[in-house]
């Protein structure tokens, strides 16, 4: 073979390899799923697409997406996301995009009765894992991308109350009736105790039925709320690969009763990461100019010297690597 032809062939193969390895574009759909025990649940879904991004979707100013574009790929892994108290499905959109770049479909719900518009059921913690399971049902059985998802590769990500949610959904059995009153007598100024001050625990929490979903094969829990309520007995059912995050300077869930309590009680080896200098809300997507104007200051303000953007570059990479590895993405 003559040298020019050989060089042309090698260049073509290199180009084909680069094209094959190129990251997908980020598609986005705002959907709703029926809930047999409540009103329809609002859902945001990010997914791989071949269509170019055209601009941000509402409330997510830092992420251009291809809204409504066709899904690209088959047998795609799925990660479902659960937000914190008073949040919404878009609170971790940068983490969702990082997962899409690795080939995931990511579906986040806005929890009914515990979101930025409606706090009427914020103490009914049993509802959260149940709603997350409803979301998995919808994504696998009825969503527009259902035929493209690999039902054997489902992960769950949660922050704060969402961190609690994914632990319960993965098999955890918290005992709030026994642990919460004593916790609040000891820590009356903690956020969870102020949120519930003067209110009795709902009957659904005093005699709970926790929804567990065996389809969840890997878990990331960031700054989990109510971590003290599990104990060793309550976490013995959480045997999936798990990555646990703690903000070292968490001002909302301070001390060792939350992420640290989960860390000490988990039955098996897990990936525990403490972030020096981080506050609670540093796990939320870094605020753009519009969010900084519209949101309460604590949601956007990091401690002096803490770079939330730089932290998220690492956080998103670590979360995506964890799910990719633990769910066997790329394996057949």
Q: Would you tell me how many other CB atoms lie within 10 Å of the CB of residue 3?
A: 7
Separation CA 78–CA 151 (nearest Å): 8
The DSSP code sequence of 216-229 is EEEEEEES-TTGGG
In a domain, 200, yes or no: yes
Give a yes or no: residue 13 inside a domain: no
pTM: 0.93
- Beginning with the edge strand found earlier in the chain, give each strand of the sheet holding 64-67 in spatial order: 55-56, 64-67, 25-35, 38-49, 105-110, 76-82, 149-159, 216-222, 242-247, 271-275
> By residue range, what is the domain housing residue 29?
24-326
In a domain, 19, yes or no: no
Three-state DSSP at 108 gives strand
User: What is the pLDDT, as a whole number, of residue 21?
Assistant: 56
pLDDT tens sequence across 173-190: 999 999 999 999 999 999
> Radius of gyration (Cα) for the chain, nearest Å?
21
Q: How confident is the model at residue 14 (pLDDT cuts 50, 70, 90)?
A: very low
In a domain, 4, yes or no: no
The pLDDT-based confidence of 198 (bands split at 50, 70, 90) is confident
- pLDDT at position 330: 74
Q: Tell me whether strands 76-82 and 64-67 are parallel, antiparallel or unpaired.
A: unpaired
Residue-level pLDDT at 232: 98
Round to whole Å and give the CA distance between 163 and 259: 9
Summarize the confidence of residues 23-38 as an average pLDDT.
97
Check residues 19 and 123 and name the one with the higher pLDDT.
123
Q: What DSSP line would sit under 139-157, residue for residue?
A: HHHTSTTGGGEEEEEEEEE
Bridge-based pairing of strands 242-247 and 271-275 is parallel
Give the DSSP H or E segment for 182.
helix 176-186
Within-domain flag for 110: yes
Q: Pick the closest to residue 193 from 225, 231, 166 (CA basis).
A: 225
Cα angle 88, 62, 52 (rounded to 5 degrees) comes to 105
Q: Can you list the positions of beta strands (E) in 20-135?
A: 25-35, 38-49, 55-56, 64-67, 76-82, 105-110
Task: Name beta bridge partners: 149.
Answer: 76
137-182: pLDDT as tens digits: 999 999 999 999 999 999 999 999 999 999 999 999 999 999 999 9
At 5, is the pLDDT very low, low, confident or very high (cuts 50, 70, 90)? low
- What pLDDT, in 10s, does the model give residues 95-138? 999 999 999 999 999 999 999 999 999 999 999 999 999 999 99
pLDDT digits (tens, 9 = 90+) for 71-99: 999 999 999 999 999 999 999 999 999 99
- Residues 60 and 56: their CA atoms lie apart, in Å, by 6
Contact 210, 148 (CB under 8 A): no
Q: How far apart are CA 251 and CA 263, in angstroms?
A: 19
Provide the CATH number for the domain around residue 289. Answer: 3.40.50.1820
**pLDDT of residue 199 exceeding 60:** yes
pLDDT given for residue 22 in this prediction? 80
Classified as helix, coil or strand, 88 is coil
Tally of domains within the chain: 1
**10 falls within a domain:** no
Q: What is the pLDDT of residue 7?
A: 45
Task: Let me know if residue 6 belongs to a domain.
Answer: no
45 has pLDDT over 80: yes
Examine residue 304 and state whether it is found in any structural domain, yes or no: yes
């Amino acid at each position: 073979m003559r040298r020019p032809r050989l060089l042309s062939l090698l260049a073509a193969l290199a180009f084909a390899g680069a094209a094959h390895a190129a990251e997908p574009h980020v598609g986005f759909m705002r959907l709703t799923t029926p809930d047999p025990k409540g009103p329809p649940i609002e859902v945001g879904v990010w997914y791989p697409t071949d269509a170019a991004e055209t601009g941000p979707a509402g409330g997510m100013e830092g992420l251009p997406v291809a809204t409504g574009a066709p899904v690209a790929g088959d047998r795609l892994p799925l990660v479902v996301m659960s937000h914190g108290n008073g949040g919404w499905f878009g609170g971790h959109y940068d983490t969702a995009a990082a997962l899409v770049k690795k080939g995931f479909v990511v579906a986040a719900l806005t929890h009914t009765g515990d979101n930025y518009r409606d706090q009427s059921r914020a103490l009914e913690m049993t509802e959260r894992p149940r709603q997350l399971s409803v979301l998995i049902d919808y994504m696998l059985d009825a969503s527009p991308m259902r035929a493209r998802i690999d039902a054997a590769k489902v992960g769950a990500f949660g922050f704060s109350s969402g961190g609690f949610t994914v632990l319960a959904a993965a098999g955890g059995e918290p005992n709030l009736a026994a642990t919460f009153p004593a916790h609040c007598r000891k820590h009356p100024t903690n956020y969870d105790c102020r949120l519930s001050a003067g209110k009795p625990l709902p009957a659904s929490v005093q005699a709970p039925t926790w929804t567990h979903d065996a389809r969840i094969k890997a878990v990331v829990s960031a700054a989990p709320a109510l971590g003290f309520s599990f104990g060793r007995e309550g976490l013995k059912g959480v045997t999936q690969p798990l990555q646990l995050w703690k903000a070292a300077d968490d001002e909302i869930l301070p001390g060792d009763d939350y992420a640290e309590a989960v860390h000490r009680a988990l039955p098996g080896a897990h990936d525990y990461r403490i972030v020096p200098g981080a506050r609670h809300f540093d796990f939320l997507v870094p605020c753009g100019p519009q969010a900084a104007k519209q949101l309460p200051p604590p949601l956007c303000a990091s401690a002096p010297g803490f770079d939330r953007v730089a932290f998220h570059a690492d956080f998103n990479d670590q979360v995506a690597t964890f799910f990719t590895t633990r769910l066997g993405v790329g394996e057949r």
